[in-house]
Amino acid sequence: MASTACFMIVSKNDIPIYEAEVGTVPKKEDAAHQHQFILHAALDIVQDMAWTTSAMFLKAIDRFNDLVVSVYVTAGHTRLMLLHDSRNDDGIKSFFQEVHELYIKTILNPLYLPGSRITSSHFDTKVRALARKYL
Amino acid sequence: MDPKILKYFLLVHDNQDSMLEKATAILTEMRSTFGANNCRLLCINSSADCVEEHQENPWASYNNSASNNKQFGCFLNVDDIGELRNTMHDLSSKHIIPHMELKIRVLNQQVSATRKGFRNQIKNLWWRKGKEDAPENPNGPMYTFSSTESQIRVLGDYAFMLRDYELALSNYRLISTDYKLDKAWKHYAGVQEMMGLAYFMLDQSRKDAEYCMENAFTTYLKIGSSRNATRCGIWWAEMLKARDQFKDAAGVYFRISGEEPLHSAVMLEQASYCFLLSTPTMLRKYGFHLVLSGDLYKKCDQIKHAIRTYKSALSVFKGSAWNHIRDHVHFHIGKWYAFLGMFDEAIKHVLEVLACGHQSKATQELFLRDFFQIIQETGKTFEVLTLQLPMINFPSTKVVFEDHRTYASPAASSVRESLWQSLEEDMVPALSVMKTNWLESQSKMLPRKYKESNVCVAGEPIKVDVSFRNPLQIPISISNVSLVCKHSTEYHEAESDANGSLMDHQSDEELRTVSMSGDFSLDTSLFTLSEVDILMQGGETILVQLTVTPRVEGTLKVVGVRWKLSGSVVGIYNFSSDIIRKGVAKGKRKPKQSVKDNLQFLVIKSLPRLEGVIHNFPRTVYAGDLRRLTLELRNPSKISVKNLKMRISHPRFLNIADKEVMNLEFPNCLRKQTNSSPSGMQVDSAKARNSIFVFPKTTSISCETPLKWPLWLRAAAPGSISLYITIYYEMEDESPVITYRTLRMHYNLEVLPSLEVSFQASPCPSRSQEFLVRMDVINRTSSESFHVHQVSCVGDQWELALLQPLDTVFPLEFLTAGQALSCFLKLKNCRKRGTTEDNISSPATSGKADVRLVGSDSSGLFDTSTSPFNLFHHHERLHQERQNQGYGSTVDFIVISESRSDSDASGVPKTIEVFSHHTCHFRIGSKSPIWWLMDGPRTVRHDFSTAFCEINLRMIVYNSTEYVVSVRINTLDSTPVINSVNVAASVSSNEVGWYDMSHLSEIKVTSDARGTRVGKAPQPENVSPFIWSGSSSTQLNLGPLSSAEVPLQICMFSPGTYDLSNYSLHWNLVSSGVGGDDENGSNVSSGTCLGDSYHITVLQKE
């Protein structure tokens, strides 16, 4: 399990629709905005990278100090972004795949408006469980 | 250091100071000393008195940071400038370049002699190998100027300066390996750096250039020479920028930034600009690096720079959905501005982050604390137009005002307007009557505009419900919440328009003053505002009702809401600006009008306003509960009102009683009086249907004398029901705008199920006009017990009697919760032919229709023929109207029960509650309009040896309808088979062509109401053992409610028991009154009835 990890889902309009701190280190007050800053800046890189490869999983595309950003771009250009300090690539990849599946289930919900915030507590607990399992 | 540097001596002579002779003397002296070629005289400032004007700064093309505001060289004339130029040209072309060329030549010879060629290479290698064992110097080996390495380096530099990059590169390459082998890292890095530059200038291999720069940079970092690393990095970044590799350049800048904050801040800022310039533009990276650099600027107290960078970053993050980022940027800008003492800017930015529901509680507290700190430092109370704390949910804002519609309770005002309108439809004079007559003076008095704006009455409050929401998790206190209103006494349309438009374009400051002055000057006389203080817990939503009461006629406009947050900041919310911005239509009252009009009111002079209340209106009652209530109307004003009318939405539940009922004792007044005059009061059906009650002309309510009027309440059906009452009245003195008003009252009633009464009736097999009725009563309540008092049937043709006293079946007096009771009653129709007057709905007066179930005496019986029983019975009948198929008569039952509230302990006398349950249109007859009875011997003894047996029978046919019916009796010898097509056709003469199977089967079943005749059809194959003799078909006409006898004869051939059911009756309504009666219009006008089974036994006579 990574000591610091911030997971975020960004809709195709660059609006964050889900965010979770999944690291083991107790959350610091100023970390929240710092993580947002890094992930937000990494979107610029994703924008370049996403169209150059057919892979969905973009491994470690950006880094800030010792924090690394890995991104998983879905077919609908929703981006699952993980800020982490561990090097567990396989784990991250499986984490992304499982969360992608969860996300698809969420958008299958007829009451969920695509692109709106994911407020389901079920989704939240599932994502946290996956983070414990893989990261 | 090279001791043999180029020497050149220049004597500068200023013509302003002294004459030229002295200078030439010095020059000759210099020439003799330093050599003739190396000295030169330069004369400047030849022109006198600062008159020389130059078009431009003569150094402008050489100095890129020259400022033009200073006049340079104003003493120089054209010759001087030419002289200057010549001197410099002479210096470079005749001395420096030849010197350098000479140097290169010499050095090149030396280098080729020592290092070029295979032999020299080997020697060099061997020599350096030998040096490996030498002790490591921490700074690397020292190279003197005369050493070969330094010579090569100088040669390279000269070549580089003279733009012979190939030569420079070859030399640098030569020594870079040497330095590397010597582990002279600093020298190595320097050479690498120069190689990178040389590669770049050659523009041949980008990769090599970058490789060299990278090498140099990392080497510098390795030996900890950050100064050199920075220089190298800047070279590198510039190199990349020149090739449009901005992204890489940004990366280099990012790498340069080291520990020292200011240094890093500058470099990060440069990096951010690289991101901005790159294609595609990386705005997010730009913003991020600006923020990073801003943080570092702040760290070294460069707050202005920090604000500058943050403000640039704000252009990226403004309005972003990434709320943590946005809050961070706004909050820090605000804080830093406050630090600099620019509080206006500070407040503007901190305001943006106040509504930060997503942040943690600690952060919210920090934001709020800092905000109040800034406010305190300013020492002023601010009025803020965009204060987001608390948030106002504008669409849920509701305006309640009373023009001609007044409301008795807040609940009444929340009822849909259409509901009231439908209720008042007939009562209120039509609007067109008021408007169309153009001759009328009143329409001219008011501009057309005010026809469209809302009307309110002076002295009556306008209520505005505003919902505030606290987005934070921490409680906030809000005080002095009030409306902001504008009042103008003029009626001039133009002026108010101008005023309105002014309002929209006003800047923030102007609006501040307007609202302030508006408050202080108008508060006292023109209108009064209510002020509310609230304390909101975290995340709470509070609906605040604010009122404004206009005092003077004119126009009143509700502009917005103002409140004070924590006693320091005044927030103003402007309704109209929001409407314009969002275009939210909130026209609750009048959807057709624009919203802006909804907040503009025409204030007219005060009018009487009735206040109405129903005393002791129960919230929860049991079904059937019958009560008397009192409506009290009060008129607080001096002017009396007239023409009162009232309408109730559900007359089945609530009805208007007679005025006299007020003084009677309830419920004893409902009981049958022994000496009662024949009350015979019939329900005026027209009046009941219309249900507008007009108060007597004499009733006019004036000041201080309330009008009391009794009402009957009967909880007709279980469930919750909303009762609406509207009272119309007119004013004594004519007002131009409002001629009438309505008072709207609204009550909610929850009705719990109590007794469930059901009846079953079956006709008496022997007598045609008597029925056996079974009554089932179930107590559906959970705790209440009832006392079933009496059962009555409505209509004077009915007689009702108990089959056996109830005490034997049901000894208990009370029917407790969950208990059921059933008893049998005998119902007799005593209506004879000729008594056909249409008084079914009028309850009986004979007294035989009522049966007391408990007790024996008939004294305590309730009189169901009087109000309110007949009133409610009428509505029940209307309500329980059902599809009237078939012809048997119907009967209505009323069951009355009592419940005594057990309040003996408290000493309150027992109050009796009366419950009435109505069952209407209960059908006792069959579906067909005719009855018949077969009459004849049941057992016959006959000697079959002599002859076959002939039996005479009699059939009595009775017509129970009020029309003439023609009946045809067919006797069938074969099996009676129902021809289904016939039935279908007979069922619906007006629905020819419909052939619906389900309908058909339903008809079969319903026509089979009296038995199961279809099922027992005899076997078709055998010939029946008897035959009908005489005519096989008899036709006769029956008058209304009359009977006839038809003789029939049957022949038997052998002894046995026979079922004489193989006959059928066809009936046909003779169309005397069918068409006229629309109730029977959809009814069956003809039909077929199969015969009843009539068993006859024939025995062989001995």
CB contact under 8 Å between A16 and B275, yes or no, is: no
More confident residue, A90 or B963: A90
Burial of B782 (0-12, 13-18, 19+ CB in 10 A): exposed
Neighbour count for residue B1037 (Cβ, 10 Å): 13
Beta-sheet pairing, B39-44 with B9-14:
parallel
Domain ranges of chain A: 5-134
Decide if B219 contacts B140 (C-beta within 8 A): no
Find the range with the poorest average confidence among A129-133, B62-66, B612-616, B1033-1037.
B62-66
Q: Mutate one of B325, B329, B331, B358 to test the A interface: name it (highest A CB count within 10 A).
A: B325
Decide if B201 contacts B169 (C-beta within 8 A): no
Q: Chain B: give the shortest CA distance to residue A90, in Å.
A: 28
Dist. CA B351–CA B328, nearest whole Å: 13
Chain A contact for B325, CB < 8 A?
A: yes
Two structure tokens written together for B1002: 């339903």
Residue B754 has pLDDT above 70, yes or no: yes
Neighbour count for residue B417 (Cβ, 10 Å): 13
CB contact under 8 Å between B324 and A47, yes or no, is: no
Residue B575 has pLDDT above 70, yes or no: yes
Dist. CA B1089–CA B190, nearest whole Å: 124
**pLDDT value, residue B576:** 67
Residue B870 has pLDDT above 90, yes or no: no
B772-795: average pLDDT: 81
Closest chain A residue to B255 measured between Cα atoms? A65
Neighbour count for residue B161 (Cβ, 10 Å): 13
Q: Chain B: give the shortest CA distance to residue A41, in Å.
A: 5
Q: What is the 3-state secondary structure (H, E, C) of A108-120?
A: HCCCCCCCCCCCC
Closest chain A residue to B291 measured between Cα atoms? A37
Decide if B356 contacts B471 (C-beta within 8 A): yes
- Which residues on B lie below 8 Å from A15 (Cβ)? 321
Residue B439 has pLDDT above 80, yes or no: no
- Which residues on A lie below 8 Å from B275 (Cβ)? 44
Residue A123 has pLDDT above 90, yes or no: yes
A107-132: average pLDDT: 90
Distances (CA, A) of B149 to B171, B195, B373, B779: 10, 15, 67, 119
The CATH number of domain A5-134 is 3.90.550.10:
no
Chain A contact for B328, CB < 8 A?
A: yes
Give phi and psi for B765, each to the nearest 5.
Answer: -70, -25
B110-118: average pLDDT: 76
More confident residue, B1073 or B740: B740
Which helix (H) or strand (E) covers residue B226, if one does?
A: helix B226-242
Beta-sheet pairing, B541-550 with B1033-1038:
unpaired
Q: Chain B: give the shortest CA distance to residue A36, in Å.
A: 6
CB contact under 8 Å between B287 and A48, yes or no, is: no
**CA geometry: angle at B781 spanning B776 and B782, to 5°?**
135
Residue entry with tokens 């050095």: B107
More confident residue, B280 or B1003: B280
Question: Strands, E, within chain A: which ranges?
Answer: 5-10, 16-21, 57-64, 67-73, 79-84
Q: Chain B: give the shortest CA distance to residue A119, in Å.
A: 13
Find the range with the poorest average confidence among A50-59, B5-14, B823-832.
B823-832
Find the range with the poorest average confidence among B119-128, B148-157, B216-225, B775-784.
B119-128
Residue B753 has pLDDT above 50, yes or no: yes
Closest chain A residue to B279 measured between Cα atoms? A48
CB contact under 8 Å between A29 and B363, yes or no, is: yes
Closest chain A residue to B278 measured between Cα atoms? A44
CA B336, B342, B346, B347: dihedral to nearest 10 degrees? 150
Q: Chain B: give the shortest CA distance to residue A52, in Å.
A: 14
Burial of B897 (0-12, 13-18, 19+ CB in 10 A): buried
> What 3-state DSSP class applies to B1045?
strand
Residue B427 makes CB contacts below 8 A (sequence gap 6+) with: B645, B647, B692, B726, B728, B742
Closest chain A residue to B272 measured between Cα atoms? A41
**pLDDT value, residue B741:** 83
Residue B592 has pLDDT above 70, yes or no: no
**What confidence tens digit (pLDDT) does each residue in B919-947 have?**
777 766 555 667 777 778 888 888 877 77
Give phi and psi for B893, each to the nearest 5.
Answer: -110, 145
Decide if B208 contacts B231 (C-beta within 8 A): no
Dist. CA B394–CA B396, nearest whole Å: 5
Dist. CA B656–CA B669, nearest whole Å: 16
The per-residue pLDDT of chain B, averaged, comes to 74
Decide if A107 contacts A12 (C-beta within 8 A): no
In order, the DSSP letters of B295-316 are: HHHHHTT-HHHHHHHHHHHHHH
Q: Which residues of A touch B (CB under 8 A)?
A: 14-16, 29, 32-33, 36-38, 40-41, 43-45, 47-48
Residue B861 has pLDDT above 90, yes or no: no
Percentage of chain B beyond pLDDT 90 is: 5
Query: In one letter, which amino acid is B765?
Result: P
**pLDDT value, residue B878:** 77
Give phi and psi for A89, each to the nearest 5.
Answer: -65, -40
**pLDDT value, residue B977:** 41
Highest mean pLDDT among B66-80, B674-688, B860-874: B860-874
Find the range with the poorest average confidence among B558-562, B726-730, B732-736, B1097-1101.
B732-736
Dist. CA B343–CA A50, nearest whole Å: 45
**What confidence tens digit (pLDDT) does each residue in B189-210 have?**
998 999 999 889 888 778 888 8
Q: Which of B285, B320, B363 sits opposite A41 (nearest CB)?
A: B285
CB contact under 8 Å between B324 and A32, yes or no, is: yes
Q: Which of B291, B321, B328 sits opposite A15 (nearest CB)?
A: B321
**pLDDT value, residue A24:** 75
Decide if B409 contacts B745 (C-beta within 8 A): yes
Which helix (H) or strand (E) covers residue A49, if one does?
A: helix A31-49
**pLDDT value, residue B1005:** 38
- Which residues on A lie below 8 Å from B325 (Cβ)? 33, 36-37, 40
Two structure tokens written together for B432: 């067109």
- Which residues on A lie below 8 Å from B287 (Cβ)? 40-41
Percentage of chain A beyond pLDDT 90 is: 33
B960-970: average pLDDT: 78
Chain A contact for B327, CB < 8 A?
A: yes
Cross-strand bridge partners of residue B931: B958
Closest chain A residue to B361 measured between Cα atoms? A29
**pLDDT value, residue B996:** 41
CB contact under 8 Å between A41 and B324, yes or no, is: no
Q: Which of B280, B288, B363 sits opposite A40 (nearest CB)?
A: B288
Residue B323 makes CB contacts below 8 A (sequence gap 6+) with: B356, B358, B359
Residue B803 has pLDDT above 80, yes or no: no
CB contact under 8 Å between B325 and A40, yes or no, is: yes
**What confidence tens digit (pLDDT) does each residue in B474-508 have?**
888 888 888 888 877 755 443 333 333 333 333 33
Chain A contact for B319, CB < 8 A?
A: no
Residue B1044 has pLDDT above 90, yes or no: no
Dist. CA B902–CA B125, nearest whole Å: 124
| Alpha helix positions (H), B536-604 | 575-582, 595-598
- Which residues on B lie below 8 Å from A44 (Cβ)? 275, 282-285
- Which residues on B lie below 8 Å from A41 (Cβ)? 284-285, 287-289
Q: Chain A: give the shortest CA distance to residue B341, in Å.
A: 25
CB contact under 8 Å between A37 and B275, yes or no, is: no
CB contact under 8 Å between A29 and B360, yes or no, is: yes
Residue entry with tokens 């650099």: B293
Burial of B31 (0-12, 13-18, 19+ CB in 10 A): middle
**pLDDT value, residue B949:** 81
Dist. CA B746–CA B749, nearest whole Å: 10
Which helix (H) or strand (E) covers residue B634, if one does?
A: strand B625-634
Per-residue pLDDT band for B521 (boundaries 50, 70, 90) equals: very low
Cross-strand bridge partners of residue B1037: B966
**What confidence tens digit (pLDDT) does each residue in B392-413 have?**
877 777 787 777 778 877 777 7
Q: Which of A15, A29, A41 sits opposite B284 (nearest CB)?
A: A41
Q: Chain B: give the shortest CA distance to residue A33, in Å.
A: 5
Q: Which of B280, B321, B360 sits opposite A16 (nearest CB)?
A: B321
Give phi and psi for B673, each to the nearest 5.
Answer: -85, 140
Per-residue pLDDT band for B1002 (boundaries 50, 70, 90) equals: very low
Domains defined along chain B, listed by start: 9-63+70-97 (no CATH), 164-380 (1.25.40.10), 391-401+460-604 (2.60.40), 611-673+700-752 (2.60.40.10), 755-923 (2.60.40), 930-1100 (2.60.40.10)
**pLDDT value, residue B18:** 74
**pLDDT value, residue B582:** 42
Residue entry with tokens 């009046």: B687
Two structure tokens written together for B101: 């060329």
Per-residue pLDDT band for B326 (boundaries 50, 70, 90) equals: confident
Dist. CA B558–CA B561, nearest whole Å: 9
**pLDDT value, residue B819:** 80
CB contact under 8 Å between A44 and B285, yes or no, is: yes
Polymer length of chain B: 1102
B329-357: average pLDDT: 86
ipTM (interface pTM): 0.93
Q: Chain B: give the shortest CA distance to residue A40, in Å.
A: 6
Neighbour count for residue B443 (Cβ, 10 Å): 15
| Alpha helix positions (H), B880-996 | 980-987
Dist. CA B504–CA B832, nearest whole Å: 84
Largest CA distance in chain A: 42
Cross-strand bridge partners of residue B1047: B954
Distances (CA, A) of B521 to B486, B516, B524, B562, B600: 11, 9, 7, 16, 20
Neighbour count for residue B841 (Cβ, 10 Å): 16
Sheet holding B930-935, edge to edge: B930-935, B949-959, B1043-1052, B1026-1029
**What confidence tens digit (pLDDT) does each residue in B150-175 have?**
888 888 888 898 888 888 888 888 88
B813-822: average pLDDT: 77
Decide if B40 contacts B86 (C-beta within 8 A): no
Number of residue pairs across A and B with CB atoms under 8 Å? 42
Residue B124 has pLDDT above 80, yes or no: no
Per-residue pLDDT band for B810 (boundaries 50, 70, 90) equals: low
Q: Which of B285, B322, B328 sits opposite A16 (nearest CB)?
A: B322
Residue B474 makes CB contacts below 8 A (sequence gap 6+) with: B361, B364, B365, B368, B538
- Which residues on B lie below 8 Å from A47 (Cβ)? 280
Cross-strand bridge partners of residue B778: B756, B820
- Which residues on A lie below 8 Å from B320 (Cβ)? 40
Taking Cα atoms as reference points, which of B547, B580, B589 lies closest to residue B452?
B589
- Which residues on A lie below 8 Å from B321 (Cβ)? 14-16
Two structure tokens written together for B924: 């006792």
Closest chain A residue to B331 measured between Cα atoms? A33
**pLDDT value, residue B515:** 40
